[in-house]
């Protein structure tokens, strides 16, 4: 097993290298970050040249990538923007944990820009994932035990709708129903945008209240895939010999279903959760935009629109690393949970 | 046929008698079998009918309502709720939402179809070469595929939309002048979605290349190109058709997402996606702005998913085992 993990980690290195290369090439045409630096006024041509040189944007692409990857403290760079390279560089490069500094928020390291927003996305993501798993287990087991019943067929139809639903449509509908219509009808209504009411402040209750609609929207569209999956694994497990044995020795049905069958049926779920968790980071882009949630997705959109290459690159690399790492954790966890699986 | 109908054969004693009808019925071809399985799939039939209706709506509607009407602005009529003259209401600059869903539908459906064309051609080519040649080609192509899969699609779309920018001049398709961004969106959706298809095709090629018919073809000196495209590819057409059908749905969704974020097709060309851009500012005051395009996207994606599911059962029954 140790050997397997080691092998996988070795394979991850060229993979992440290729990813960073693809992304960096795509970044080369992101637009001019210097153009928006003067605020509302257009940047003066002289300043523009100086800034471009100071930020190292006048260098050829391969050199920018090299500096991004391994830093530039081994060579001389142009710090005052006069066209001559005189002072030693200060960047240490991604390989030594330095993602550079944001171009929009001058001088702030990329890592702290991201760390500031990451918790907001994480609470949204984890809350959604927990609700999705609990809900999907409930729906999946229920419809597997009553296969082809009216309820099962209805659930099947609804899962297709949920599966085809664009997140913004669910989000807008739920905002309209629970935020607008409920208010109009004089019912207690839910807040639709932001993370907390500025008048009340960032309290636990406020954040929880503001989380309801985003979490509901994310869960509604994800229930479908998860519950279908549990339904099919549950159906498979229920027809196995050991379940029949458990039934025939007179165990209560509840125990057979929830202790004997569900344990094995829920096992493959580990795989989907592991692959989906990092993707939820990405799925949050649209959700966070609609609900004005100050998370990573919105950070990404804001900085893309202002061509802040280091931050955009940092977010993308972080997510790619998360995807690769979670794939490995998933495989290892699955083998640990299910001793029938052996990796060579 | 007519002769047997006129002269029924005499039944021989002791031999099982077959009616003329049973004698005449030729065995079902693969296509007929698939069609029979497909017809039994009620949801797939529903999906197919809905798709025809949606296409009629988008392309037939254009015969009734002109494009200039769909792009005609009248600020006196802005944000009118649905009424007899504007069944779906009007938008922020007074354009008729119904007319725009018709013309937007054309673009959205077209983007879906053309993006899948790019997706299928790149996915099939990459998958086929990787699976057929194996070795270094395979390792190289699959590392690239894996790298692309590991970047979540929405991020890739946004970054690519930025990369290509909106610098293309307006183009003429089907007699309509469209913003050049339509072409870019088709391209980037196609280029960010081929990875799963490439993996499917590669797996197919890996197994087929070891089969006897390929060996036979090679023995008589058939070129690699012929073997790939004439011998192996037709055998793996079923999973490709299924993936392509479902791909249209994801392409339409991708267009909606990226246009919703304001990075997609630029106005005045309407799409179902960019009609939703900024609609959440009118959540309370003008729900018709986002409801109708959103509903149309949902219906289209839902119908295509139904259809794809039915096609999978009909063409590729084994894949259902899991």
Q: What is the DSSP string of B155-185?
A: HHHHHHHHHHTT-SPPEEETTEEE-THHHHH
Q: Which of B145, B155, B187 to mutate to test the interface with A (most CBs of A within 10 A)?
A: B155
Q: What SS3 state is found at B228?
A: helix
d(CA B65, CA A229): 45
- Pick the residue of A28, A169, A283, A317 with the most B CBs within 10 A to test the interface with B by mutation: A169
- What mean pLDDT, rounded, does chain B reach? 82
Give the model's pLDDT for residue B20. Answer: 63
Do residues A83 and A108 lie in contact, with contact meaning Cβ atoms separated by under 8 Å?
A: no
Q: What is the DSSP letter of A157?
A: H
Res. B7: pLDDT tops 60: no
Of the candidates A167, A169, A193, the one whose C-alpha atom is nearest the C-alpha of residue A180 is: A193
Q: Which of B159, B287, B292 to mutate to test the interface with A (most CBs of A within 10 A)?
A: B159
pLDDT in tens, A10-29: 888 888 988 998 888 888 87
Contact yes or no for B170/A312 (Cβ under 8 A)? no
Please check the confidence at residue A80 and state whether its pLDDT lies above 50.
Answer: yes
B interface with A, Cβ–Cβ < 8 A, is: 43, 143-144, 146-148, 150-155, 158-160, 162-165, 249, 253, 256-257, 260-261, 276, 279-280, 283-284, 287, 290-291, 294-295, 297-298, 301-302, 305-306, 309, 322
Instruction: Count Cα atoms within 13 angstroms, Cβ side, for B118.
Output: 17
pLDDT at position B122 is 94
Neighbouring residues of B19: CB distance < 8 A, sequence distance ≥ 6: none
Q: What is the reported pLDDT for B301?
A: 92
What pLDDT, on the 0 to 100 scale, is given for residue B118?
94
Residue B202 · residue B127 · CB < 8 Å: yes
Between residues A79 and B13, which one has the greater pLDDT?
A79
CA distance B162 to chain A (A): 6
Q: In the structure encoding, which two tokens stand for residue A275, read together?
A: 């692959």
- Sign of the torsion angle spanned by Cα atoms B110, B185, A297, B250: positive
Q: Look up residue B303 and give its two tokens.
A: 């119908």
Q: Helix-strand-coil percent breakdown of chain A, rounded to 5?
A: 70, 0, 30
Give percent of chain B with pLDDT exceeding 70: 84
Model confidence pLDDT, tens digit, residues B154-175: 888 888 888 887 566 676 666 6
Which neighbouring-strand residues pair with A88?
A76
Q: What is the maximum span of chain B, computed from C-alpha positions, in angstroms?
A: 89
Task: Return d(Cα A137, Cα A227) in angstroms, integer.
Answer: 6
All residues of chain A having their beta carbon less than 8 Å from the beta carbon of residue B150 are: 15, 19, 320, 323-324
Q: Does A11 touch chain B (CB under 8 A)?
A: no
| Residue A281 contacts B where some CB pair is shorter than 8 Å | yes
Which member of B162, B291, B306 has the closest CB to residue A160? B306
Per-residue burial over B147-160, b if 16 or more Cβ lie within 10 Å, else e, is bbbbbbbbbbbbbb
CA distance linking residue A17 with residue A22, whole number of Å: 9
Answer whether 0.90 is exceeded by the pTM.
Answer: no
A97: left (phi over 0), alpha (psi -120 to 50) or beta: left
The two structure tokens encoding residue A165:
């639903």
> If we measure between CA atoms, which residue out of B115, B134, B131, B120 comes closest to residue B239?
B120
On whether the CB atoms of residues B248 and B113 are closer than 8 A, the answer is yes
- A183 to chain B, minimum CA–CA distance in Å? 11
Mean pLDDT of all residues in B89-106? 81
Strands A76-77, A87-88: pairing is: antiparallel
Q: What is the pLDDT of residues B116-132, one digit of tens each?
A: 999 999 999 999 999 99
Separation of alpha carbons B265 and B260, rounded Å: 10
Is the pLDDT confidence value at B3 over 50?
A: no
Q: What are phi and psi of B90, to 5 degrees?
A: -125, 160
> SS3 for B90?
strand
pLDDT value of residue A304: 85
- Across the interface, do B261 and A14 touch by the CB < 8 Å criterion? no
In this prediction, residue B4 has a pLDDT band, given cuts at 50, 70 and 90, of very low
**For residue B321, is pLDDT > 90?**
no
| pLDDT, tens digit (0-9, with 9 covering 90-100), for B216-258 | 999 999 999 999 999 999 888 888 988 999 899 999 999 988 8
Cα distances (Å, whole numbers) of residue A324 to A7, A270, A320, B58? 13, 15, 6, 42
Report the run of H or E that residue A239 belongs to, with start and end.
none
Phi/psi of residue A76, nearest 5 degrees: -100, 140
A312/B260 Cβ within 8 A = no
Strands A87-88 and B171-173: unpaired
pLDDT digits (tens, 9 = 90+) for B178-225: 677 888 889 899 999 999 999 999 999 999 988 999 999 999 999 999
Confidence of residue A143 (pLDDT cuts 50, 70, 90): confident
A319 touches chain B (CB under 8 A): yes
DSSP E strand boundaries for chain B: 171-173, 176-178
Would the pLDDT of B65 be above 60?
yes
For the segment A170-175, the average pLDDT, to the nearest whole number, is 88
| Most confidently modeled range among A304-318, B17-31, B276-290 | A304-318
Cis peptide upstream of residue B268 (ω within 30 degrees of 0): yes
For A49-95, give the DSSP string.
HHHHHHTTTTS-HHHHHHHHHH-STTSEE-SSSSS---EEP----GG
Q: What are the beta bridge partners of residue A76?
A: A88
Contact criterion met (CB < 8 Å) for A23 and B159: yes
pLDDT tens sequence across A214-255:
898 888 888 888 888 888 888 888 888 988 999 899 999 888
pLDDT grade, residue B1 (50/70/90)? very low
Residues of B in contact with A307 (CB under 8 A): 162
- At A302-322, the pLDDT tens digits run 888 888 888 888 888 888 888
**Per the CB < 8 Å rule, is B154 touching A283?**
yes
**Residue B171 is encoded by which pair of tokens?**
């183009």
């Amino acid at each position: 097993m140790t050997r397997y993990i080691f092998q996988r980690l070795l394979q991850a290195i060229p993979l992440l290298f290729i990813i960073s290369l693809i992304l960096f090439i795509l970044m080369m045409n992101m637009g001019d970050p210097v153009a928006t630096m003067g605020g509302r006024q257009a940047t003066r041509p002289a300043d523009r040249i100086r800034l471009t040189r100071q930020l190292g944007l006048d260098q050829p692409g391969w050199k920018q990538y090299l500096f991004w990857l391994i830093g530039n403290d081994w060579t001389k760079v142009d710090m005052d923007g006069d066209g001559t390279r005189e002072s030693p560089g200060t960047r240490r490069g991604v390989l030594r944990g330095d993602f550079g500094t944001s171009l929009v928020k001058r001088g702030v390291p990329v890592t702290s820009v991201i760390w500031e927003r990451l918790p907001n996305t994480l609470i949204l993501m984890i809350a959604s994932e927990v609700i999705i798993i609990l809900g999907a287990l409930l729906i999946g087991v229920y419809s597997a035990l009553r296969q082809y019943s009216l309820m099962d067929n209805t659930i099947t139809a609804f899962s297709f709708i949920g599966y085809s639903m664009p997140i913004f449509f669910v989000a807008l509908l739920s905002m309209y129903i629970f935020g607008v219509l409920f208010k109009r009808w004089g019912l207690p209504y839910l807040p639709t945008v932001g993370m907390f009411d500025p008048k009340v402040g960032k309290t636990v209750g406020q954040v929880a209240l503001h989380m309801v609609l985003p979490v509901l929207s994310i869960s509604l569209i994800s229930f479908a895939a998860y519950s279908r999956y549990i339904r099919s694994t549950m159906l498979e497990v229920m027809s196995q010999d050991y379940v029949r044995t458990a039934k025939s020795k007179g165990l209560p049905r509840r125990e057979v279903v929830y202790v004997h069958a569900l344990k094995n049926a829920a096992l493959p779920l580990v795989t989907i959760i592991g692959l989906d968790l990092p993707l939820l980071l990405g799925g949050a882009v649209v959700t966070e935009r609609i609900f004005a949630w100050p998370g990573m997705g919105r950070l990404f959109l804001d900085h893309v629109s202002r061509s802040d290459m280091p931050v955009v690159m940092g977010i993308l690399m972080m997510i790619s690393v998360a995807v690769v790492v979670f794939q490995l954790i998933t495989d290892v966890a699955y083998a640990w949970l299910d001793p029938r699986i052996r990796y060579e | 046929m007519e002769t047997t109908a006129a002269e029924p054969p005499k039944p021989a004693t002791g031999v099982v008698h077959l009616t003329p009808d049973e004698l005449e019925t030729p065995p079902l071809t693969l296509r007929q079998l698939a069609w029979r399985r497909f017809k039994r799939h009620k949801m797939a039939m529903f999906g197919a009918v809905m798709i025809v209706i949606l296409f009629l709506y988008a392309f037939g509607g254009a015969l009734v309502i002109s494009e200039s009407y769909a792009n005609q602005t009248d600020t006196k009529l802005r944000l009118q709720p649905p009424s007899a003259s504007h069944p779906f209401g009007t938008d922020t600059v007074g354009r008729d939402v119904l007319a725009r869903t018709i013309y937007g539908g054309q673009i959205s459906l077209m983007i879906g179809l053309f993006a899948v064309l790019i997706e299928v051609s790149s996915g099939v080519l990459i998958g086929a070469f990787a699976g057929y040649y194996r070795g270094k080609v395979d390792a190289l192509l699959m590392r690239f595929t894996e790298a692309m899969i590991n970047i979540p699609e929405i991020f890739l779309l946004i970054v690519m939309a930025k990369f290509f920018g909106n610098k293309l001049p307006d183009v003429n398709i089907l007699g309509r002048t469209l913003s050049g961004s339509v072409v870019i969106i088709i391209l980037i959706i196609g280029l960010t979605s081929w990875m799963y298809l490439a993996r499917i095709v590669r797996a197919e090629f890996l197994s087929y290349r070891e089969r006897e018919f390929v060996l036979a073809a090679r023995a008589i000196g058939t070129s690699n190109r012929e073997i790939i495209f004439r011998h192996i590819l037709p055998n793996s057409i079923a999973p490709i058709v299924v993936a392509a059908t479902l791909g249209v749905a994801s392409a339409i969704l991708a267009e909606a997402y990226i246009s919703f974020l304001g990075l997609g097709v630029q106005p005045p060309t309407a799409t179902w996606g960019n009609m939703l851009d900024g609609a959440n500012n009118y959540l309370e005051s003008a729900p018709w702005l986002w409801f109708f395009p959103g509903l149309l996207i949902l219906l289209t994606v839902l119908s295509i998913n139904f259809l794809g599911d039915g096609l999978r059962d009909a063409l590729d029954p084994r894949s259902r085992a899991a």
